[in-house]
Amino acid sequence: MAFARTCSVALVGVDGVVVEVQADLEPGLAAFSLVGLADKALLEARDRVRAAVSNSGEKWPLRKLTVGLTPASVPKSGSGYDLAVACAVLAAAERLDPASIDGLLIIGELGLDGRVRPVRGVLPSVLAAADAGYRQIVVAEQTAAEARLVPGVSVLGVRSLRQLIAILTNAPVPDEPPDQPTGRPDSSFAGLLLPGLGVRDLTSEQSVRPDLADVAGQYEARRALEIAAAGGHHLYLKGPPGAGKTMLAERLPALLPPLTPAEALEVTAIHSVAGLLPPDRPLIDTPPYCAPHHSTTMPAIVGGGTGLPRPGAVSLAHRGVLFLDEAPEFPVRVLDALRQPLESGEVMIARAAGSMRLPARFLLCLAANPCPCGRYSLRGEGCECTPVMVNRYQARLSGPLLDRVDLQVQVTGVTKAELMQQGGRAESTETVAARVREARARAAARLVDTPWRTNAEVPGHELRTRWQLAPGSLADAEHDLDRGLLTARGLDRVLRVAWTVADLAGRSRPNRSDIQSALTLRTGVQRAARPTDRRSDSCYPYADAPADAGAGQEF
């Protein structure tokens, strides 16, 4: 038989499309044609596969060979088709039984010596194969653990083409020793790990975990951090250099609950496609933290690149935290491009080669100085910026962007007494994270029959009509709306924050005190406390806070 076929997967963003790899041998001058809308790396598979087959001890067919990848209309890129092409060619040459590979889905790159090298995007590829009904998957041994995360599939990890041929022909499987000298890194992982756009693992066991107790003072900012984590609200920290904005942001991911199994698969699939999945950690089960530099380009933040788009920082921070330090230094176009994913939780990218949807439901944390020199908000006369410079600098964060940020907190400089305090440390990350989990559990119980999981995801119309507030609690918000201090979107976000404040306090619904707290966190305007709303009703009592900390605030 001069025809054989097997299957592989083409990745379009983070979604997989099953591709049929067909090989046909005909009499004629020896030639190798590969068709099916392949990119440069895939076209070079002709030379890789020929060398790998010959170096594996097999005879290369000296006839006219045509390999087709269908559907031909789907763009295909990368080297992950090499192993499938080699098997299809050998089956067409009757070295393998065509029936033995007909039901397989094969993913892997071939080295010239016949060894199978891992490729990026194995998890989303296997997910697509499982959805299409494939149950037998062949991958490189290094990515077998990642592929086995998908339930209901049988995964075979191989080291070389020789091993796979032996398994398919029921011959003794040769032992393939590692080809790297002891003490050197395995070069086969070079195609898996790429530069990471500021993605850092701040919660792994191998590194020292940042603790919220290390932050001196900043009681109001720490309270905003807890509310942001409990409700999934976006946060804007504004203050002078050295006040602790970056320290606070780095401790935010540890306050978030661990990812659910479904969320962990989503996040792992994105990082696998982007080449950021550590080989020794096939599943990411903690919220990611992405902190790109302010010189990062638009495609790197939102997603894109040449050919088909790749995940950007907003997708790499999916179900985690995207921290933009020195936010006004980012290009204005980049900042405004965040407006769509902040609302919808996904980003739509259109390119000449195709369009795709990438998940991007992240918690945005912005940090900014008050002016170019950073001393505008201090009490001294140290600021040298003119009013025009200050206004121009602050205007780089547009009104529509800030209108989508629920919590906007002024971070003041740490005092000498707070910095040199010798008493008990502030509350630890573990203590605050426990309260966040309890608040999220209350919100989840309330939203159990809805498509939303956190307060930040609930549409404003539902908050105004489906869940009733305490009578008279919206008086202050309605007053600000009439005065133009609050937009309709801003009112919806105040309601979301108020529900989170109530969840942290253990109340069944927000009262006027909770609305006042949400308004203060959004507008920075202090609200007068009513006699019935005292700190004894606090949802966030810091034991280490001084008596006048947050005076006038309703916790």
How many helices, marked H, and strands, marked E, lie in the chain? 22, 19
Q: Report strand pairing: 105-106 vs 289-290.
A: unpaired
Q: What is the pLDDT of residue 197?
A: 59
Mean pLDDT, range 1-29, rounded to an integer: 92
Residue type at position 336: D
The mean pLDDT value of the chain amounts to 86
Rounded to the nearest 10 degrees, what angle do helices 475-483 and 512-523 cross at?
A: 30
Task: Give residue 422's pLDDT band: very low, low, confident or very high (50, 70, 90).
Answer: low
CA separation for the pair 231, 499 (Å, rounded): 8
Annotate 191-214 with DSSP letters as a single string.
Answer: GT----TTEE-SS-TTSPPP-GGG
Q: What is the pLDDT of residue 94?
A: 94
Q: What is the pLDDT of residue 184?
A: 52
CA separation for the pair 161, 113 (Å, rounded): 9
Task: Give residue 349's pLDDT band: very low, low, confident or very high (50, 70, 90).
Answer: confident
| Cβ-proximal residues to 465 (8 Å cutoff; 6+ apart), any chain | none
Q: What is the pLDDT of residue 414?
A: 81
Whether 531 has a pLDDT exceeding 60, the answer reads: no
User: Residue 86 in contact with residue 117, Cβ under 8 Å?
Assistant: no
Q: What is the pLDDT of residue 357?
A: 86
Task: Give residue 159's pLDDT band: very low, low, confident or very high (50, 70, 90).
Answer: very high
Q: Which long-range contacts does 341-349 make (Cβ < 8 Å, 24+ apart)?
A: 341/302, 341/314, 342/234, 342/401, 342/404, 343/404, 345/457, 347/302, 347/303, 347/312, 347/314, 347/315, 349/13, 349/302, 349/303, 349/304, 349/309
Q: Tell the residue number behind the tokens 């009262």, with chain if given.
A: 511
Mean pLDDT, range 118-129, rounded to an integer: 94
Residue 113: which of 185, 188, 166, 42 has the closest Cα? 188
DSSP code, position 132: T
In 10 A of CB 317, how many CB atoms?
A: 31
Whether 353 has a pLDDT exceeding 60, the answer reads: yes
Whether 182 has a pLDDT exceeding 50, the answer reads: no
pLDDT one-digit tens code per residue, 281-320: 789 999 999 999 999 899 889 987 766 667 899 999 999 9
Task: Give residue 528's pLDDT band: very low, low, confident or very high (50, 70, 90).
Answer: low
Read off the tokens for 87. Answer: 């098997």
Whether 196 has a pLDDT exceeding 80, the answer reads: no
